[in-house]
Amino acid sequence: MGSALALDPAVLTLVAGMALVTYATKAGGLWLVGRVDLSERAEAGLDVLPGAVVVAFVAPALAKGGVPEWIAAATTVAVARKTGNLLLSLAVGVGTVLAVRQVV
């Protein structure tokens, strides 16, 4: 039996393959969009898409979450509005939910 930290070549190959497919999908999409004339409405839809994806991940957690998740969400929104820094906002949100869970 191997070490728990040993890297299985099959797993590495699978992860590398998934990374390659992910990159190819994104690069292909950007290449395709660069060659198609989009309407203003389509461009507006693509501009808000990242926010919609974040909401799709966060909404179920908030729906099932309790006080720590709601406090963290409010803190994250406040930091995002104040600083405009997404990475800082996410870090503060994660830190807040972890801290509130320890207290509540």
94 domain residue, yes or no = yes
Tell which wins on pLDDT, 4 or 73.
Answer: 73
Considering only the C-alpha atoms of the chain, give the largest distance between any 2 of them, rounded to a whole number of Å: 59
Res 1: pLDDT? 53
Structural domain of 28: 1-36
21 domain residue, yes or no = yes
- Picking from 93, 48, 95, 57, the residue whose alpha carbon sits closest to that of residue 75 is 93
Same domain, 53 and 29: no
Same domain, 52 and 94: yes
- Provide the domain count of the chain: 2
Encode pLDDT of 2-60 as tens digits: 566 678 889 999 999 999 999 999 999 889 888 888 889 988 888 888 888 888 988 99
Encode pLDDT of 48-63 as tens digits: 888 888 889 889 989 9
Mean pLDDT of 61-75: 93
Same domain, 58 and 28: no
Query: Does the reported pTM lie above 0.85?
Result: no
Question: Rounded to an integer, what distance in angstroms lies between the CA atom of residue 104 and that of residue 101?
Answer: 5
In this structure, of 48-52, 65-69, 97-101, the range with the lowest mean pLDDT score is 48-52
